[in-house]
Amino acid sequence: MLGLTRKTKVSTGASLPVLVGLGAGCLFLLIGSLSSDIFAQQTVAGLAQGAIFASLALALVLIYRATEVINFAQGEMAMATTYIGYQLTLWHVTYWLAFFLTLVIAFVLGVVIYGVLIRPVQHRSVIALVIVTVGLFILIDGLVTWKWGADLKFMQAPFGNQVYHAGGVSFSRQDLGVLLVSIMSVILLWVLFQFTKLGLAMRAAALRPAAASLVGVRVDWMLAVGWGLAAVLGAVAGLMTEPTQFLQPTMMQAILLYAFAAAVLGGLESPAGSVVGGLALGVFLNLVGQYVGFATSELRLPIAFAVLLVVLLLKPTGLFGRKQVRRV
């Protein structure tokens, strides 16, 4: 029904031309950064921005792999958890303690949302599932605006405002910090999935729910943990967005759109693809904005999606997706 039939065979991994293309892109960035200071600066800023897209895109991919739903509320969940972090700092919790407390709260929130809202409709109708996340989007937006208001709020800057200089290039400490935290959380997640029993069970539950439950994996719990982890990644993205965008109910909406683009670029099924897609998109948008006069800020979103459409036309399942075999 509706073309969203269950897959019978899933495999991921980039093909050779894609890997060669990515390598060439990295080489281009490296040479450009060595020959021009502005280029280097824009690349680093783009990576920091892209790391945020990557975290949120990875959250989308986690949820898509676990429950086959595009979570429209992912950005708003991230925004809401960032407000919770803000509330904690208002209660004189230090920034980094508030940061980790927020992640815990986000995890619980994700698990609860899965259990209460998603599980009841999961196998009944794909459209109903999408609409539930859209409803959640509207609901969270309303709740946050009601509790904290629509005006800008400020948290203390987690990384300070220092700027480092290296050979004529200046990097802001904030960009580096954002990049570091986002990449760290992605790596931690990868370790969890690859090297722990919990990760193995989660992968099994997502790929082969029936077989997994036969070998004693509690599939529902694993999917719930998947939603929780996705919410945690979203919270990281939200907290890392705050230093540049400040707190407002609409702060994650544009970022969610870029994250969609990044996730689809990477192939929706592939965690590695979403991270590469996010970073590439961030750098690409920054460089295009710097060097192409035509591409004014109004065209930032359309350009991101034009890239997405071109990639999809060339590779309909994204850069890292493999063709799926479907049962007729």
- Least distance between other proteins and beta carbon 241 (Å): 18
State the Cα–Cα distance between residues 312 and 292, nearest whole angstrom. 23
Among 34, 127, 187, 188, binds other proteins (CB under 8 A): 127
Binding mask 256-275 for other proteins (x = CB under 8 A): -x--xx--x---x-------
- Least distance between other proteins and beta carbon 280 (Å): 17
Q: Which of residues 243 and 267 has its CB atom nearest to other proteins in the complex? A: 267
- Least distance between other proteins and beta carbon 242 (Å): 21
Which positions ≥6 away from 7 have C-beta within 8 Å?
Answer: 324, 325, 326
- Least distance between other proteins and beta carbon 211 (Å): 23
Residue count of the chain: 328
* AA letter at 249: P
Using DSSP, state whether 93 is helix, strand or coil: coil
Q: Which of residues 26 and 306 has its CB atom nearest to other proteins in the complex? A: 306
State the Cα–Cα distance between residues 191 and 177, nearest whole angstrom. 21
Among 140, 222, 223, 232, binds other proteins (CB under 8 A): 140
State the Cα–Cα distance between residues 272 and 96, nearest whole angstrom. 27
Q: Which long-range contacts does 192-199 make (Cβ < 8 Å, 24+ apart)?
A: 192/229, 193/271, 198/225
Q: Could you count the other beta carbons within 10 Å of the beta carbon of residue 27?
A: 10
6 is a contact residue toward other proteins (CB under 8 A): no
Question: Which residue, 82, 70, 73, 145, is CA-closest to 112?
Answer: 73
State the Cα–Cα distance between residues 36 and 182, nearest whole angstrom. 26
117 is a contact residue toward other proteins (CB under 8 A): yes
120 is a contact residue toward other proteins (CB under 8 A): yes
302 is a contact residue toward other proteins (CB under 8 A): yes
292 is a contact residue toward other proteins (CB under 8 A): no
Q: Which of residues 34 and 150 has its CB atom nearest to other proteins in the complex? A: 150
Among 131, 152, 163, 211, binds other proteins (CB under 8 A): 131
- Return the residues of window 168-207 that contact other proteins according to CB under 8 A: none
Alpha-carbon distances, residue 16 vs 23, 266, 320 (angstroms): 11, 15, 10
Alpha-carbon distances, residue 63 vs 19, 57, 83, 322 (angstroms): 26, 10, 22, 19
> How many residues lie near other proteins (CB under 8 A)?
51
290 is a contact residue toward other proteins (CB under 8 A): no
101 is a contact residue toward other proteins (CB under 8 A): no
Question: Which residue, 269, 130, 66, 134, is CA-closest to 277?
Answer: 269
- Least distance between other proteins and beta carbon 158 (Å): 29
53 is a contact residue toward other proteins (CB under 8 A): no
Q: Which of residues 224 and 303 has its CB atom nearest to other proteins in the complex? A: 303
State the Cα–Cα distance between residues 152 and 248, nearest whole angstrom. 5
Residues that bind other proteins in the complex, under the rule CB under 8 A: 1-5, 64, 70, 72, 117, 120-121, 124-125, 127-128, 130-132, 134-143, 145-146, 150, 257, 260-261, 264, 268, 296, 298-299, 301-302, 305-306, 308-309, 312-313, 316-318, 328
